[in-house]
Amino acid sequence: MNAQEQYRAFMTILRKEVRRYMRIWTQTLLPSAITMSLYFVIFGSLIGSRIGDMGGFSYMQFVVPGLIMMAIVTNSYANVVSSFFGSKFNHSVEELLVSPTPNYIILMGYVVGGVTRGLLVALVVTIVSFFFTGMQIHSVPIVIAIVLMTSTLFALAGFINAVYANSFDDISIVPTFVLTPLTYLGGVFYSMDLLPEFWANVSKLNPLVYVVNAFRYGVLGVSDVSVGFAFGMIAVFTVLAFAYCMHLLNTGKRLRQ
């Protein structure tokens, strides 16, 4: 396929992905706005008023970047894992694999689809946050970079989960037993400075610590970890995930029956 044909194939997959989640926006976009509003009310207004300041900011301002990032992670992951597993389940993915479409175009189509949903949900959650607290951006380039890198990373992770899943129940195992605990232990609701030294060091093994803190630095200008190191870790995880996704597509492992 020449470049024009590859671009057309990519846009076809991307449009399908966008139309899929926009068609059921009450299930894909609205729940995030409602859930985050509850977080803002409970953790920000009710509990936050008792906690006071954290990291030099009100508790509401402190948790907003983490909540936005949590929505991005969850939706980028969920979009790809559900969509690609659905294609695998009804065997329509086999038509893509036997077509002349390069595997990296197939992967990029699904991943960018997940990224667009993550970005759209991030916009919705950000708008909701303005009803509860003011928010100023410390560094726009850092915010844009971390959002794009994080949504790409977890879209790739969702793709891997979809390849290995054998049933629709399997696509909920990783979000429930891995992603959710890592998110809550990733510094969304607290500063790592509050942890004992041992647990603070253990927390640094959690990749979401770097995601949340890098984004918090972009928004508020504060971080519990080195921002440069955080970007490096996210980049390494993203490259490894992309390479493994390409390996799965090139070998057809668990895809060709």
Q: Look-up: residue for tokens 């667009």?
A: 116
Q: What angle (nearest 5°) sits at the alpha carbon of residue 136, between those of residues 63 and 226?
A: 60
Helix or strand (DSSP H, E) at 53: strand 53-54
pLDDT of res. 19? 93
Burial class (CB within 10 angstroms; exposed 0-12, middle 13-18, buried 19+) of 226 = middle
SS3 category, 57: strand
pLDDT along the chain (257 residues), means of 10: 88 92 87 82 72 77 87 92 89 83 93 94 88 82 93 94 87 84 82 78 83 91 88 92 93 73
114 vs 241: CA distance, rounded Å: 15
This prediction has a pTM of: 0.89
Q: For residue 163, which amino acid is it? A: V
pLDDT of res. 257? 54
Helix or strand (DSSP H, E) at 54: strand 53-54
97 vs 195: CA distance, rounded Å: 48
Structure tokens at 166: 């054998």
21 vs 113: CA distance, rounded Å: 9
pLDDT of res. 256? 64
